[in-house]
Chain A
Amino acid sequence: MRIAVLSGKGGTGKTLVSVNLAAVAKISTYIDCDVEEPNGHLFFKPEDVQEEEISVKIPKVNNELCNGCRKCIDFCKFNALAYIKDKLIVFEEVCHSCGGCIMLCPEKALTEREKVIGKVQKGTSDQVTVYTGILNTGEASGIPIIKKLLAENKPEADKLTFIDCPPGSACIVMESIKDADYCILVAEPTLFGVHNLNMVYELVKLFNKPFGVVLNKCIEGENPAENFCIEKNIKILDQIPFDNELGILNSNAEIAVRENEKYQALFSSLLETVKKEVQHETTSYS
């Protein structure tokens, strides 16, 4: 069972929810797909960490073979190539590794070469297997790293896997939720929070994923994100209060469910709700 946790912006509580769900599930896998700034490992402090570098293929030019036809330049949607003074220049950071220029070059002046863009780490924290994807600063796309993280973790029905997604609703998030069985959307109780919730709501609907919402940082009074869920008939899985104690635990990189009974109970109940939702979805689809 693969559960993806996402939100339209950073700082809503994706890591809080996914880390604590993984920790409360005891035997589970946590995958940090927020490769631009992974922070789940700060909470889990995994041990026995193994590391693997991730490379992409980028074009390498042989200017003796290049005749300046510019087919590669015209093809590249990302403008990663320029032809200056009878020389083809490749802008590595701009290249998205599609390989199109290499396929098109009639003179075979372009070949592939490997370029390291980041790494994946695997470690353990109690009985949680912790995967972290790390993209090097300045690289165009973290998708190859996410692909590697998810390929290493084939979905298994009886294994609980929590995917901590990058913020937003761009390609990198789509890649992270693609094979998820269920999506948890985390939302803040503000109008801005509703705007961001709507982004991921539209995304999971587009992907036909079963989903529910966790309302985070809830305070007394009206909650625009709750109103949004009621209006759209979206399942509210749980409400996490705006709580000083939780804030302190979290900012000290402690895992709330391992330190505090109240949160142990809250996330256990959330986990049970999510499991039931997934089972319900599985039966209603089969």
Chain B
Amino acid sequence: MKIAIPVDEKSLDSNVCVSFGRTPYFLIYDVDTKESVFLDNSAAASTGGAGIKAAQTIVDNKANVLLTPRCGENAAEVLKSADIEIFKTTSASVKDNIDAFIDGKLPLLDEIHAGFHGHGGN
């Protein structure tokens, strides 16, 4: 099983990024092989629709679940179509959240926000 997490730095010691769509990097962590892959988030600098593009990256990298503090509705729609479950991170540390997820202690993210669209001006 592969876990995707938005992260501030390319390290397992990093914190979870507060933004999903505009996170600088994603960690794809394979629970079975314990392998970590860090991806640049090409959506970070998008004018709009960053969540959609970021979600596409998660889908293309064949993650099964996403751990994130929050997620917008367009991104959630992409992830839902791909049957990727979204769990809510409960602390800042990437490692702690991976452990909590494996122990079944992370709740499903049920609050999907309406997005921060247009705040950069169009």
What residues of chain A have their CB less than 8 Å away from a CB belonging to chain B? 73, 76-85, 87, 89, 91, 93-94, 140-141, 168, 170-172
- Asked if residues A80 and B82 are in contact (CB atoms below 8 Å), the reply is no
B contact residues, total (Cβ < 8 Å): 20
- Asked if residues B48 and A171 are in contact (CB atoms below 8 Å), the reply is no
Q: B82: which A residues are within 8 A, CB to CB?
A: 84-85
Q: A82: which B residues are within 8 A, CB to CB?
A: 52-53, 55-56, 59, 78, 81
Q: Which of A79, A83, A85, A171 contacts B49 (CB under 8 A)?
A: A79
For the complex, give the distance between the alpha carbons of A171 and B47 in Å.
Answer: 14
Would you mind naming 11 contact pairs between A and B with Cβ atoms under 8 Å apart? A79-B46, A82-B56, A82-B78, A82-B81, A84-B81, A85-B81, A87-B81, A93-B74, A93-B117, A94-B49, A171-B122
- Asked if residues A79 and B122 are in contact (CB atoms below 8 Å), the reply is no
Q: A76: which B residues are within 8 A, CB to CB?
A: 49
Asked if B104 CB lies within 8 Å of chain A CBs, one says no
- Asked if residues A83 and B56 are in contact (CB atoms below 8 Å), the reply is yes
For the complex, give the distance between the alpha carbons of A61 and B48 in Å.
Answer: 21
**Distance in Å from the Cβ of A268 to the closest Cβ of chain B?**
36
Q: A94: which B residues are within 8 A, CB to CB?
A: 48-49, 52, 74, 117
Q: B53: which A residues are within 8 A, CB to CB?
A: 79, 82
For the complex, give the distance between the alpha carbons of A168 and B122 in Å.
Answer: 11
Interface of chain A, main secondary structure? loop
**Distance in Å from the Cβ of A93 to the closest Cβ of chain B?**
8
**Distance in Å from the Cβ of A61 to the closest Cβ of chain B?**
13
For the complex, give the distance between the alpha carbons of A192 and B104 in Å.
Answer: 50
For the complex, give the distance between the alpha carbons of A84 and B48 in Å.
Answer: 19
Q: A77: which B residues are within 8 A, CB to CB?
A: 46-47
The 9 closest A-B pairs by CB, nearest first: A79-B49, A79-B53, A84-B81, A79-B52, A94-B49, A78-B48, A170-B121, A84-B82, A82-B78
For the complex, give the distance between the alpha carbons of A168 and B56 in Å.
Answer: 33
| Mask: chain B, 78-108; 1 = CB below 8 Å from A; 0 = not | 1001110000000000000000000000000
Q: Which of B50, B77, B83, B121 contacts A79 (CB under 8 A)?
A: B50
Q: Find residues 18-35 in chain B having any chain A CB closer than 8 Å to their own CB.
A: none
**Distance in Å from the Cβ of A227 to the closest Cβ of chain B?**
27
- Asked if residues B78 and A89 are in contact (CB atoms below 8 Å), the reply is yes
Q: B122: which A residues are within 8 A, CB to CB?
A: 140-141, 170-172
- Asked if residues B81 and A79 are in contact (CB atoms below 8 Å), the reply is no
Q: B59: which A residues are within 8 A, CB to CB?
A: 82, 84
For the complex, give the distance between the alpha carbons of A77 and B82 in Å.
Answer: 22
Asked if B43 CB lies within 8 Å of chain A CBs, one says yes
**Distance in Å from the Cβ of A218 to the closest Cβ of chain B?**
29
Q: A85: which B residues are within 8 A, CB to CB?
A: 81-83
Q: A83: which B residues are within 8 A, CB to CB?
A: 56
Q: A82-B55, A84-B59, A170-B121 are in contact. Are A89 and B49 (CB under 8 A)?
A: no
Q: Which of B47, B50, B78 contacts A84 (CB under 8 A)?
A: B78
**Distance in Å from the Cβ of B51 to the closest Cβ of chain A?**
8
Q: A171: which B residues are within 8 A, CB to CB?
A: 122
- Taking A140-B48, A140-B122 as given, write out 8 further A-B residue pairs in contact, using a Cβ cutoff of 8 Å, ordered by the A residue number: A78-B46, A79-B48, A79-B52, A79-B53, A82-B59, A83-B56, A93-B117, A172-B122
**Distance in Å from the Cβ of A100 to the closest Cβ of chain B?**
14
Most chain B CB atoms below 10 A, which of A73, A94, A170, A172: A94
Most chain A CB atoms below 10 A, which of B49, B59, B121: B49
Q: B81: which A residues are within 8 A, CB to CB?
A: 82, 84-85, 87, 89
**Closest A residue to B60 using CB positions:** A83
| Mask: chain B, 36-79; 1 = CB below 8 Å from A; 0 = not | 00000001001111101101100100000000000000100110
Q: A85-B82, A170-B121, A170-B122 are in contact. Are A91 and B47 (CB under 8 A)?
A: no
